[in-house]
Every structure is written in C-alpha cells, then in structure tokens.
Chains A and B, each alone.
Chain A
Amino acid sequence: MYPQVLLQNRKPDRIATLAEYQRSGGYEGLSRVLEAQAPTEVRQVLLDAILLGRGGAAFPAGVKMMTVAEDAPFPRYLVCNADEMEPGTFKDRVLIHADPHQLIEGMALASYAVSAEHGIIFIRPEYEGAARILEREIGIAREAGFLGKNILGSGFSFELVVHRSGGRYICGEVTAQLNALEGRRPNPKQPPPYPTEKGLWQKPTVLQNVETLCCIPHILKNGAQWFKDLALTESGAGTKVFGISGKVNRPGCYELPMGVRLSEIIEEYAGGMKNGAAFKACLPGGASTSYLTQEHYHIEMDFEALKKVGNRLGTGAIMVFDQHTCMVAATLNLIEFFARESCGWCTPCREGIPYIRDILWRIETGEGEASDIPALRKICKYLWHAYCAFAPGAVAPVEGLLTYFEDEMTAHINQKKCPFKGS
C-alpha cells in the first residue's frame, strides 16, 4: 500500500469532518504559514515542490503564482476550477466528498501566497451535492477562524464562495471560466493579458484545479522534498488521484504515487480486467488525450513519460477499452462529445469537428472510403489552428486512432461494415 495523502481521510459513506481533518494534521500548515512565512516563501516552496497543475495542462503552480506581480492591483482573486466536465474525470468530485477542508485549507494557503482576498469555487451543476457540502463546510471553517476576516489573528483575510455553473465543458477552460464568472457567454479569450495580470473583473486572478489546491496544505506542512519523494519517478512529484473506469472490475479513484505503472493500476487497484475482457487500449487522462495500447501497458504514469510517447497524463482519468470495443465507434463517441460541446466561437473547431464526426460516422457505418483516412489526417492538423486548446484536445483521440488503429479503420472500409458488430 502506498502512502495516502489526499485521500487519507476518505470514508465509504460520508465526508471527513473538520475535527477529523484536524486530527490528521489539517490546518497545521495554515497556522504555521500565517505565523512565520511570507507569501514569497510559500510560492517558493510550491515552486521547489514542482507541483504541476492537475487540471490537465500540467503547468507549475509555483510559476503561475510567481507571475502575479508584487505591485499588482487589488482585489486579487483565487479561483478553484471544480468544473470537471472532461469525460472520464471524476477525481475532483471524490476529493471534495472525501475531505472538503483539505480544499478549503489549500485555497486559504494559495490565496495567502498571492495576497488574494476573494476565493471562488466554480462548480458544475451535476455536483450540486458537492456544492452544498462546500457551502456548509466553508461556514464551519469560518466559524473556526480559518476563513474570513483576520484569519487566526494574522491580519490576513480571505472570503470564499461557491459559484454554480449552468453546465458546459468549455467553462473548464481558464479564460472561458472567467467569462462565465462574470455572467458573460463563456467563450475563451486569448492571452495576453494573462489572467494573473488581468483576470476576473480585470484584476489579477490565479486559477487552479481542485486536486492541485488539495496538494498545497501537505506540501507546506511536510516540505517540497517530501512531496517530490512521494513520486516513483525522477521526473514526477507527489501523488496522483487516478480515476479509472471502463472495462475493469473496480472502477474508482485511487491515490497512487506519480509514476506508478499503468499495468499496476489496472491489475492491483482496479481489480484487473472484467470477466473475459482483455486490455486493448485506454485513454490515460480524459477525453482529450490519445490512446495508449498494449505496447504501453507497463508505462510509468507521469507527465514526462507520457509526453515521451506523444501523449499526455491530462487529468489522470484512465478509461479502459477491451478487445470487443470498436475503436472507431469509441472515437466517434468522443468526437460527438466535442462537437456538442464546442463553444462555436472559431471556425476550425465549430466546422472541423462535425466534419471529423461525419467521416468517422461513415467509416463506422460501412460507407467509408480509403481516401477518408488521409482526409482525416489533414483535418486534424487544421484543428491545431483553432482559437483555444479545446480543438487540439478534441483531435487527440482521433490522432490516436490514426496512429494505432489504422488497421481497424481499414477493416471497416474493406468489409463495408463494423467488424465488431454481429453480422
């Protein structure tokens, strides 16, 4: 059993209370930091810990916080991204339901690091239960003196609120989320200016994922070196909450060291493949990553290792496909998602994704032609020129299909039907 950090207080049926969180050392980091450390020192510790963003883009949290200028205007905002709408991803939900005070403390610390006095948790409507838990526990934390005015007598103040989304995947993208928070249509905005300079209401704004923020109390309590040592690989740092679903016996969230092997996650933690199923492929980090196949079965799951094989760890949401799954149909399903969720702002994405969907649909239904494969390759390239990272994310599984399963596509085209469907 590996050390449990973020999920150490998880219980099968209820959240960890404030008392339980404190018994495990919760809010110790905050007390100590507010007493003895300057915001710059906090940022430096996070930088040294190589805390990479867990929301998909793997950007170093310390670097992001450092870009808030010393003389940046006030008020400054800290936004917690609990949108989590990427198919396959459910770790943030589990983290909030397990130990809400861990997120609250993480936000208090992050806000101190950048001198933000306003915090907002942006949450998807499907997580209404989590939103209510957070509102209740924020009240409890405030009463205990961990939030609000003059926290623990330090002079530092931080107010935290929950913002409910109306539900659209693009709201998870930083700049779209800021628009959403301002009550504007959530289209992305291309930087510059970066949100850390001019974000919410044109004020400096730091936005981090739930899991990233949850790591912060532990790093400040135990140190940067401790955090780095949690990982199994040289390049990794910390643990990762992997969410695994699909054709495995025990789908769910497992907190494991960064760099743990894919095969170990599937066999030791997810209970192996379902009865009669054999591993064929998986998406390693949500719908906007590419496929890993049999040749990657023992890959070390960290940001670096996945980059080396042209993939991404993304959110660490592993979706496992078996030998009976048609990869053309699976990719078609994924692209349907992206076609539906495109914000429609820019043409390559708004027009290109439905075009890909139509070609995949034809191939899947037996009407594909050999020329469809090079055509798909070409369109995928165009989508890299879209306005935001949504479209390159959308084509990741399509490119994976073209790289690893061209034979399956060709079989559809030659047989004029889906070979996985009973004849």
Chain B
Amino acid sequence: MQTESQTESLEKEIQAAEHPRELAVDVMAAIQARDGYLSDAGVAEAAGLLGMSPVEIEELATFYTFIYREPVGRYVIHICDSVVCWMEGAETIGEHLMKALGIRMGETTPDGLFTLLPVCCIGYCDRAPAILINKKAYGPLTIGELDRIIDGLRNSDDANEAAAEAANPKKQVLKR
C-alpha cells in the first residue's frame, strides 16, 4: 500500500519532470494504491498534480484496464478469458471462483476482500489457464489449487485487516 511519503516523492518527481503528463499513469496508480481505487476526488487530485484537466485524466482512467474507477476489493482477481486459457478451461475457473466467492464477474465480496474481473491475455499462455491476483500471475490452475490460493489469501494478515476495516469503516487505515 502506498503511504503519504510515496505520494510526496511522486510530487517531487512531477516537479522535476520536463513533461509532467508523462507520469499520468503512475500518478493515477499511486492515488489508487493509497485510496483503493481512483475516485472522483482522486481524478481531480491527479489533474491538479499534473496540470491537466479532470476530463483528460478521466479519458485515461476509463481507457486503462488497471485503473479502477469503482471501489475494488483488497484482492483484485483478473481471470484471463483469451483464447489459450479459454481452450484450457478458463470458463470453469471463472465459474468456480464466482461460486466460491458468491459474487458475479465485476462484483466485490461484501467483506471487501475480493473483486472478480475478466481480462485479456496476461502473457502467461504457457501456464494456461492463468489468472492475476493484484498483478501477480498464477497458473496453470486446477480447481484444487485455486481453492488453496483463495484460502491462503482469506487467512492472511492483510485479509484480517481488511475485514476489520469493512466492519468499522470510520477507522481508516490509510490517511489521505
């Protein structure tokens, strides 16, 4: 997770940059890492930092797959549905995850832990079927393995922290 000092160091980088807008994706990603997603306020903040208009940030934010304009869970699971993974059973992987987590594609579990999203080929076709959890690739997956991975994440410290946060949203772990 991004801390305040990391956004500060980004501010320094922006000041030093000849063309600040080249850092647009980095800035959106940093705000997203701090806040969990890129909110409307985050868009405005990015625009201010970069000297761009909010709509210029918006057209980038909505263009890129890995910038989330809606709140997402602590673990964002991207399921590859491109041709090699499709051939190797991506549909089964997706269906199993939806059942195991009790959500549909595009949704987040009520405890704020998991979000399921489809994604195009992630460049791990040699390990199909493959998925990405917070940008880390897993594959080739079997149902058993998938269950082990999900259980592992559920029982991690990070997950407990997120659950506490979800139960008591006022107690923000992250500072703005």
- Enumerate chain A interface residues (CB-CB to B < 8 A): 84-90, 93, 124-129, 163-169, 180-186, 201, 243-247, 251-253, 283, 287, 317, 319, 321, 325, 330, 333-334, 336-337, 340-341, 343
Q: Which residues of B contact A126 (CB under 8 A)?
A: 122-124, 132, 135, 137
In the assembled complex, the Cα of A343 lies from the Cα of B65 at a distance in Å of 12
Some 23 contacts from A to B, beta carbons below 8 A apart, are A85-B121, A87-B120, A88-B121, A89-B121, A90-B124, A126-B122, A126-B135, A126-B137, A128-B135, A164-B25, A166-B28, A166-B29, A166-B65, A183-B23, A183-B24, A184-B21, A186-B63, A244-B126, A246-B128, A321-B87, A333-B83, A333-B86, A337-B120
The answer on a CB contact under 8 Å between B63 and A182 is no
Residues from chain A with Cβ under 8 Å of B22 in the complex:
163, 181-183
Q: B70 contacts which chain A residues (CB < 8 A)?
A: none
**Main SS at interface, chain A:** mixed
CB within 8 Å for A319 and B86 given contacts A166-B60, A183-B21: no
With contact pairs A319-B84, A341-B120 given, residues A185 and B29 touching in the complex (Cβ less than 8 Å): no
CB atoms of B66 and A87 under 8 A apart: no
B109 at the interface (CB under 8 A from A): no
Task: Please count the residue pairs between chain A and chain B whose beta carbons lie under 8 angstroms apart in the complex.
Answer: 128
Contact A125 B28 (CB under 8 A): no
Q: CA–CA, A87 to B122, complex, Å? A: 8
In the bound complex, how far is the Cα of B52 from the Cα of A170, in angstroms?
23
Min CB distance B32 to A, Å, is 10
Are A164 and B26 in contact (CB-based, < 8 A)? yes
The docked-state distance in angstroms from the alpha carbon of A180 to that of B83 is 26
Query: Is B50 part of the contact surface with A, judged by Cβ < 8 Å?
Result: yes
| B26 and chain A: residue at smallest CB distance | A164
Q: Does B175 touch A at the CB level, under 8 Å? A: no
Q: C-beta contact mask, B111-146 vs A, less than 8 Å → 1, else 0?
A: 000000000111111111000100111000000000
Query: Is B59 an interface residue, CB under 8 A from the partner?
Result: yes
Could you tell me the distance between the alpha carbons of A252 and B90 in the complex, rounded to whole angstroms?
19
Cβ of B127: which chain A residues have Cβ within 8 Å of it?
251
